[in-house]
Amino acid sequence: MGATFDEQYTSLGIGDDHGPMFFPRILLGIWLLLATSVLVHGFFGGTPGGSGRGQIVRAVIVIATVGLTAYLITVIGFLFASAFCLFSVSYLLGYRNPISLMVTTIIFPIAVWWIFANVLLITLPTSPWFDLI
């Protein structure tokens, strides 16, 4: 909310009585009220039930892996990053059949890459080592 009163926004919207910060301030005001209500309710109403500690740790590791994949796509290209993602996310979610996992890790990213590059003609990020993939 404070940022909407920042100096950079005071000169904006000349000629318009209700400038660019008018609508965001309304939203943030309502947001503040609702968030306070949820906080108060949460404070007196207890915490939501959910999964155990082990599963939360697993979720955090999966989230980190997906985040790492997003980064790797920009560094080593789509094909290698997606192979890494498929293997690690499947493994983390509990898939333990090594042959099936290896076969899927190799075939699925190549199939997706081939369909997009050659059939749909959409260029996906490439690696620094090869021109095409």
Q: Which two tokens stand for residue 60?
A: 């955090």
1 touches another protein (CB under 8 A): no
Is residue 30 within a helix (H) or strand (E), and if so which, with residue range?
Answer: helix 22-45
- Residue 10 is a binding residue for another protein (CB under 8 A): no
* CA gap 80, 84 in Å, rounded: 6
Q: Is 125 exposed, middle or buried (0-12, 13-18, 19+ CB in 10 A)?
A: middle
Which one among 10, 56, 102, 114 touches another protein, defined by CB under 8 A? 56
Binding mask 72-111 for another protein (x = CB under 8 A): -xx---x---x--xxx-xxxxxxx-x--xx--x---xx--
Q: What angle do CA 17, 9, 27 make, to 5 degrees?
A: 70
* Contact footprint for another protein (CB under 8 A): 3, 9, 12-24, 27-28, 30-31, 34-35, 37-38, 41, 48, 50-52, 55-56, 58-59, 61-63, 66-67, 69-70, 73-74, 78, 82, 85-87, 89-95, 97, 100-101, 104, 108-109, 112, 116, 120-125
